Amino acid sequence: MQSPAIAPSILSANFARLGEEVDAVLAAGADWVHFDVMDNHYVPNLTIGPMVCEALRKHGVTAPIDVHLMVKPVDRIVPDFASAGASLISFHPEASEHVHRTVQLIKSHGCQAGLVLNPATPVEVLDYVLDELDLVLLMSVNPGFGGQAFIPSALDKLRRVRERIERSGRPIRLEIDGGVKVDNIREIAAAGADTFVAGSAIFGAKDYAEVIARMREEIAKAGTRQA
Ligand SMILES: O=C(CO)[C@@H](O)[C@H](O)COP(=O)(O)O
Ligand SMILES: [Co+2]
Please enumerate, by residue number, every residue annotated as part of a binding site.
Answer: 9, 34, 36, 68, 144-147, 177-179, 199-200
User: H-helix or E-strand containing 97?
Assistant: none
**d(CA 140, ligand 2 centre) in Å:** 10
| 226: pLDDT strictly greater than 50 | no
Q: What is the DSSP string of 122-144?
A: -GGGGTTTGGG-SEEEEESS-TT
Would you say how long the chain is, in residues? 227
User: For residue 227, what pLDDT is reported?
Assistant: 38
Give the chain's domains with CATH numbers. 5-226 (3.20.20.70)
Percent of the chain with pLDDT over 90: 97
Mean per-residue pLDDT, 124-145? 98
Task: Please say whether the beta carbons of 170 and 141 come within 8 A.
Answer: no
Beta bridge partners of 116: 137
pLDDT band at 94 (very low <50, low <70, confident <90, very high): very high
| 167: pLDDT strictly greater than 70 | yes
Mean per-residue pLDDT, 4-11? 98
| 223: pLDDT strictly greater than 90 | no
Task: Please say whether the beta carbons of 71 and 48 come within 8 A.
Answer: no
Please tell me the number of Cα atoms within 13 Å of 132 on its side-chain side.
18
| 105: pLDDT strictly greater than 70 | yes
Please tell me the number of Cα atoms within 13 Å of 109 on its side-chain side.
22
Phi/psi at 165 (5° precision): -65, -45
CA–CA dist 161, 138 (Å, integer): 9
Question: Please, which residues have CB within 8 angstroms of residue 21's CB and are 6 or more apart in sequence?
Answer: 10, 13, 14, 203
User: H-helix or E-strand containing 167?
Assistant: helix 154-168
| 116: pLDDT strictly greater than 80 | yes
Distances (CA, A) of 94 to 60, 103, 120, 218: 34, 13, 11, 33
Mean per-residue pLDDT, 162-176? 98
pLDDT band at 1 (very low <50, low <70, confident <90, very high): confident
Q: Determine the number of helices (DSSP H) and then strands (DSSP E) in the chain.
A: 8, 8
User: For residue 224, what pLDDT is reported?
Assistant: 64
Does this model's pTM top 0.90? yes
pLDDT band at 2 (very low <50, low <70, confident <90, very high): confident
Task: Please say whether the beta carbons of 215 and 182 come within 8 A.
Answer: yes
CA–CA dist 20, 12 (Å, integer): 13
The reply to whether 156 belongs to the active site is no
Look up residue 112 and give its DSSP letter. E
Q: Closest ligand 1 atom to the C-alpha of 34?
A: 6
Q: Which of 31, 39, 66, 177 is catalytic?
A: 177
Please enumerate, by residue number, every residue annotated as part of a binding site for substrate.
Answer: 9, 68, 144-147, 177-179, 199-200
pLDDT in tens, 50-83: 999 999 999 999 999 999 999 999 999 999 999 9
Q: What is the best residue among 196, 197, 203 to mutate for testing ligand 1's pocket, by most ligand atoms within 8 Å of CB?
A: 197
Mean per-residue pLDDT, 144-152? 98
